[in-house]
A and B are shown apart, each in its own frame.
Chain A
Amino acid sequence: MITTEKLGKVFRTEEVETYALNNVDIHIKKGEFTAVMGPSGCGKSTLLNIIGLLDNPTEGLYAFNGTEVSKLKEKDRTDFRKGNIGFIFQSFNLIDELNVYDNVELPLLYLRMKASERAKKVDTVLKRMKIGHRAKHFPQQLSGGQQQRVAIARAVIANPSLILADEPTGNLDSKNGIEVMNLLSELNQEGTTIIMVTHSDRDAGYAHRIINLLDGKVLMEKMN
């Protein structure tokens, strides 16, 4: 599903060139659950951004489902992303000004779905995430675990084939963390491909495969 070849990302200022990624070759099959690990600044998030089509690489190739996407313009990346990729962040990134329902509905709005259809989908997913009773609440009124469940609901609402999770349990206590990881596992078992950046060995234990990065390079790959 995802193939990168000699992928590189360089940040240039007038004086310095920093390689955030250097010659990264990875292959991820459909339905796989992959964890990306490594110390701070090793390029995990940059890799995730490129895979999630939020950013372009400066070097190398990236094929998503066989389509070369490394040189796409912003507008095309947006179109490609829509409905195909869901995102989960460490700090949840819910919109404070919108209630739970509106936050979860957001990706559907940009897919131009009918209102009745949207309502059905949102209801279903909120129930599944066990936060249906919180639909009218605003993010600040929820606990961290509840907020992350809302974020997961938002990530899966459009049935994406790929979910990218950037330290999804980083801001949660262990009980809530385990709950979130169980949800991700469930999604993966239903066929969604998941790539997760994490510092936690416990979380990485849920993955089929662990990719270790150091200084922008793949240090080693390990099957669980």
Chain B
Amino acid sequence: MIMNYLKIALTNIYKNKVYSIISISSLAVGMAVCILLLLYVTHELSYDRYHEKSDNIYRLCQDVHPYQAPGAARLLTDNLPEIISSVRILPRDNINVQFDNKRFKEDEVAWVDPALFDIFSFNFIVGTKGSSSLQQPGTVVITKSTAEKYFGNENPIGKTIEVGNEYDYLITAVIEDISDNSHFKFDIFMTLEDGAMMFGNDWMDSWGWCNFLVYFEMQDNFSKPDVEEKISNLLNIANEPNSTPIDYTIQNVVDIHLYSSHFLGDIQPQNSIIYVLIFSAIGLLILFIASFNYVNLFTANATNRLTEISVRKTFGASRRQLAKQFILESILVFFVSFCFSLLLVGLTLPLFNEFSGKALSFSILANTNIIIGLLGMLLVVGILAGWYPALILSSYSPTRVLKSSIKSGSGFQIKKLLIGIQFTIVIALIACAIIMYGQINFLETKDLGFEKEAVITTIFDYGDEAKYNTLKHELLSKSYVSNVSVASRIPSGDLGNQSYAKAEGQEESILIPYVHVTFDYFRTLGIEPIEGRLFSEEFSTDVKESVILNAAAVKNLGIEGNPIGQSVQCNWPKSTRKIVGVIDDIHFESLYNKIKPAVFLIHYPVVYHLIVKVIPSDEIGSMNAITDICQSFYPDEVIEFIFLDSILEFRYKKDITTFQLMGFFAALAIFLACMGLLGISTFIISSKTKEIGIRKVNGAKVWEIIQLLNVGFIKWIAIAFVIATPLAYYAMSRWLESFAYRTELSWWIFAISGLATVLIVISTVSWVTYKAARRNPVESLRYE
């Protein structure tokens, strides 16, 4: 029996080439998209789950960032029985590391407590295993690829690397590279055992130096709200007096990657669950569209199979047997499409990886659960898609072929309903793509309040101030350099250096971001004062007694009247300073964040970002020349300049990638929906050949016939539009909410999406109708 079904199914696939190609290719494309997105989503959801203790590992977080003071971990571990142990990680970038004559600038460097290797599960390859590897002062653990970079094939254990041009660290162990699905990826782990010596007791005892990531291994059962409350109580007492209380939270390690997008400057850019949901939804929607094509075409095509159905029924097939036959046929088509889709995925995976910046591979799928899930999905969708045609086809009465006069009306409009749903999806996707494009465009073109063009920047240790000044004068003597400065923070970074400040006449100190600068900082960035003046070498008091605020800081500190000349008590360094100027609120951080108040003052000891404004002509050449000059002053440093605007673009890379993928999938969805539409209108036309012939004989013009068919579809698009608009509106408002600065959701975006869809449908349907309507009516009537 099965053989008989298979024979019929294969012959039908072969015989009705147009329908089969449309059905199978759209199913294959739909499934390929689904599998790609499944790979992506699976990868995103797998972050940090490989740690054996992942269920018990929690990260300590403040309101807006996950960084803590050095003493927080110890204080909490000693006082809260829920905490078994803790580890601190002090992440650092731009660190010079040297072995023999091999010197690199390392960005993934961390000072950690030895307990790191007890709490997290990293694989040791050689050397002392576990936490004992970092028990001794001056020890370091490196990853395999770092070991290869410095030592080639030699055994690195027992060798010493020089860190920051100053400190020697003994390599005690090598671990496997930290896998991609980790929320942090360090290459070099140095012990914090001698942290006090490294960073000084002042810093290690400070409660204002919030730079440590803190992780706890928790007991199996504890109340999260209780622990968070206890933590907040303990830490708010320990923090600087008069500071605003902070609500501390703890976050399970497996949630960090997808639920931390509200944090500023997480340890590495994390993804957001919103994108994971968006992509899951797109994958499903595209599979729907493809399945609907299949259902529609299969049902439409069934008129060609009336004889078969009737004969089978006449000779004893029950309705259930026929239904089973058609469902089996659907599963067969789905299986064939699935095989093609695997091929497609294989071909497009490298492209997808390039787009999404991931290194996904089929190996993610080599998991029993996922394979069962995929096959299950295949079966369920195959049955669901086969169910409707099976129901309809098996209900045909066999008396039809026996020339009885019964004519069953096929009044049911499910074909058009499915097309309606397809176009709901298409309209929503077009709207989302337009809105995303608008927002990305907004991000890229928004006036940020400073000049980002022709500014190059780098980070290294400039030595004492006099040496830096010599470099500065040397650079300024070049014709291609217009300004030079150095500061603790530059726009494009985050305002992470916070400390307290109090305005004259105010009671309370306020925690506020500090930007430590040197002369010419604002000039290099093209920022003008809105009140007062900028720092200038003409005023010798500027270094120790002046401060510049942005407009938000003036408001935040509660300064009333003319701010110029009023004094502010600063905490970093401790000093009382007079306000000499106010600058506008520039977008220092990305447009995800609201503009923050900021205090700008001159303080050389903590500056590390060098910025150079070059004359915009041969910018690359200038950058190379400047690099050479710096290198000649600082031969021990690894110096790499980068353009400020490229850093700025990089901030929205995730959004741009998402937009591009979204645009691509929207286009794909439209394409699939059009394929289906093409198939279904071809079918409708062929069933209306006689009607068209009669109309033409009676005087209908070609365009009147085209109109006739389009009207039916446009009604459904109108309904689709009404449903799609609020859906897209809701989804996109949610997405836009993550940006502090965003474009408007205008009505015309939705109007355009609707109109675009109408245009697509009209042109598809008209194209098919035109061909039919042009035919000689005598021909079509004779044919009937």
Binding site for B on A (CB under 8 A): 11, 18, 20, 41, 45-46, 48-49, 52, 54-55, 74-75, 78-79, 81-83, 87, 89-91, 93-98, 102, 105-107, 109-111, 154, 166
Contacts and interface: CB of A to CB of B under 8 A. Distances in A.
27 contacts: A11-B406, A45-B402, A45-B404, A49-B399, A52-B314, A55-B397, A55-B399, A74-B319, A78-B319, A89-B401, A95-B308, A95-B311, A96-B307, A96-B308, A97-B8, A97-B308, A98-B11, A102-B7, A106-B4, A106-B311, A106-B312, A107-B316, A109-B1, A110-B317, A110-B318, A154-B315, A166-B402
Contacts of A46: 404-405
Given A20-B405, A55-B404, A166-B403, A82 B316 contact: yes
Interface string B284-324: 00000000000000000000000110111111111101000
A82 B11 CA distance: 26
B314 A95 contact: no
B7 A97 contact: yes
Contacts of A154: 315
A54 B308 contact: no
Given A79-B318, A94-B311, A95-B307, 8 more contacts: A41-B405, A45-B402, A75-B318, A78-B316, A87-B314, A93-B311, A97-B308, A111-B316
Contacts of B319: 74-75, 78
B593 to A, nearest CB: 65
Interface string B320-336: 01000000000000000
A78 B11 contact: no
A35 B7 CA distance: 37
A105 B15 CA distance: 22
A97 B403 contact: no
B320 to A, nearest CB: 8
B12 interface: yes
Contacts of A75: 318-319
Given A78-B317, A78-B318, A89-B402, A95 B8 contact: yes
Contacts of A20: 405
B402 A54 contact: yes
Interface in B427-443: none
B156 interface: no
B398 interface: yes
Contacts of B11: 97-98
Contacts of B15: 97
Interface string B375-414: 0000000000000000000000111011111100000000
Nearest to B398: A54
A155 to B, nearest CB: 9
Given A11-B405, A45-B404, A46-B404, A97 B12 contact: yes
Nearest to B401: A93
A106 B315 CA distance: 7
B6 to A, nearest CB: 11
A108 B397 CA distance: 21
Contacts of B314: 52, 54, 81, 87
Interface in B502-521: none
Query: Do most interface residues of chain A lie in helix, strand or loop, or is the interface mixed?
Result: mixed
Interface of B: 1, 4, 7-8, 11-12, 15, 307-308, 310-319, 321, 397-399, 401-406
Contacts of B313: 54, 78
Contacts of A55: 397, 399, 404
B321 to A, nearest CB: 7
Contact of B307 (A11, A45, A93): A93
A110 B307 contact: no
B403 A45 contact: yes
Nearest to B318: A78
A76 B398 CA distance: 15
Contacts, number: 89
A95 B4 CA distance: 12
B144 to A, nearest CB: 60
A154 B314 CA distance: 11
Given A97-B11, A109-B1, A49 B404 contact: yes
Contacts of B404: 45-46, 49, 55
A55 B307 CA distance: 17
Contacts of B403: 45, 90, 166
Nearest to B1: A109
Nearest to B310: A93
A93 B7 CA distance: 18
Contact of B316 (A74, A91, A93, A110): A110
Pick the most buried of B4, B312, B315, B406: most chain A CB atoms within 10 A of its CB. Answer: B315
Contacts of A109: 1, 4
B316 A83 contact: yes
Pick the most buried of A78, A89, A90, A98: most chain B CB atoms within 10 A of its CB. Answer: A78
A25 B216 CA distance: 92
Contacts of A98: 4, 7-8, 11
B699 to A, nearest CB: 29
A162 B114 CA distance: 91
Contacts of B12: 97
A95 B325 CA distance: 15
Contacts of B315: 82, 87, 106-107, 110, 154
B326 to A, nearest CB: 14
A95 B402 CA distance: 15
Nearest to B309: A95
Contacts of B399: 49, 54-55
Nearest to A83: B316
Given A95-B311, A106-B311, A110-B317, A49 B8 contact: no
A75 B318 CA distance: 6
Nearest to B10: A97
Contacts of A110: 312, 315-318, 321
A87 B315 CA distance: 8
Contacts of B397: 54-55
A49 B399 CA distance: 7
A46 B400 CA distance: 11
Contacts of A91: 401
A70 to B, nearest CB: 16
A80 to B, nearest CB: 10
A97 B319 CA distance: 20
Shortest 6 CB-CB distances between A and B: which pairs? A82-B316, A110-B316, A97-B11, A107-B315, A95-B308, A49-B399
A19 to B, nearest CB: 12
A97 B316 CA distance: 19
A164 to B, nearest CB: 9
Contacts of A106: 4, 311-312, 315
A64 to B, nearest CB: 16
Contacts of A74: 319
Contacts of A94: 311
A190 B15 CA distance: 41
A74 B405 CA distance: 19
A87 B427 CA distance: 52
Nearest to A82: B316
B400 to A, nearest CB: 10
Pick the most buried of A41, A49, A82: most chain B CB atoms within 10 A of its CB. Answer: A49
A102 B403 CA distance: 24
Contacts of A107: 315-316
A102 B315 CA distance: 13
Nearest to B308: A95
Nearest to A109: B1
A178 to B, nearest CB: 23
A98 to B, nearest CB: 7
Contacts of A89: 401-402
A109 B317 CA distance: 9
